[in-house]
Amino acid sequence: MPTRIASIEPPMSFPALVQAFFTDYLVEQRALSPQTVAGYRDAFTLFLTFAHQNLGKWPATMNLSDITPTLILAFLDHLEMERHNSVRSRNIRLAALRAFLKFASHHDLSALQTIEQDLAVPMKRFELPLPEFLSREEMLAIIGDPGMTWISRRDHLLLGLLYNTGARVSEIIHIKVADVVLDGAACVHLYGKGRKQRAVPLWKSTVKEVRAWLRLNPTMGNDSALLPNRDGQAMTRNNVTQRLSLAVIKASKTVNSLLGRHVSPHCIRHYLPFLTMSSHVKASVGMLGI
């Protein structure tokens, strides 16, 4: 009888690899958080768009062999020079590509040599700049007054919570009504990177404002976003950045040090956290009645 030769399955196509990377590897095997998966997705969207512009190929027609060190380096330069991304952001995008290439190396042995060359593209070294911070006067000017409109009161609570908790934007926009404890030891439960959870104490002034906000929005349920947009959905990162920028512009009319200054949500995080405040800062907080 003739010897039967075992059939060898052809390697997965590039679109199938990308789909398996996200659905099977990131979600099912590694069980990464939706925020982390979204970060990988954004990196791939940028990279595939750049590859299409430079190679003239749609993602559906690409091959692993198209991803060369030259293309990767050109993409990274594009991020820095044209999109004005920081070196840190550049390295995060590269880390996402590396994770995919390592995954792909287990599914397409014919591309091992190309993948090995791609993985040799190094991370870029950089010096950490001194963190920018806001003074108490600047922060209070940015928070401003609650105002009379629904939007102004929401923004006042948003900025106050950022100041009180030192939370990341991703943590703030995902706060639900049920995450806020107002009785007894008032606190807010935050869900951060890597599914880490923590409870942050709330100042008396913040508790008072949350109560007023909930009275203004009696239809909010426990699963409702505490800080919704006009459609009742959770705010996005862009929403928060835009509202903060408008608040800074308004505050700069009375605080000259804010004129022309870019204040990001992360800048507020550099203010000393409540639990590690110096006695001098705690005294300042006490003056606020919190």
Q: Give residue 129's pLDDT.
A: 62
In the chain, the DSSP E strands lie at 180-181, 187-191, 197-201
Domain boundaries, the chain: 14-119, 136-287
The first and second tokens of residue 31, run together, are 């069980």
List of the chain residues with pLDDT < 70: 1-10, 128-132, 194, 270-290
Cα 139 to its chain centre, rounded Å, is 22
136-287 belongs to CATH 1.20.1440.230: no
CA gyration radius for the chain? 24
pLDDT in tens, 187-215: 999 987 767 889 999 999 999 999 999 99
Residue 274 near residue 164, CB atoms below 8 Å: yes
Q: Is the Cβ–Cβ distance between 267 and 132 less than 8 Å?
A: yes
CB 143 within 8 A of CB 246: no
Per-residue model confidence (pLDDT) at position 273:
45
What is the per-residue pLDDT for 5? 46
Q: Where are the beta strands (DSSP E) in 129-268?
A: 180-181, 187-191, 197-201
| Confidence (pLDDT) at 260 | 86
- Give the model's pLDDT for residue 271: 59
* Predicted pLDDT of residue 262: 84
Sheet arrangement for strand 197-201: 180-181, 187-191, 197-201
What is the CATH code of the structural domain delimited by 14-119? Answer: 1.10.150
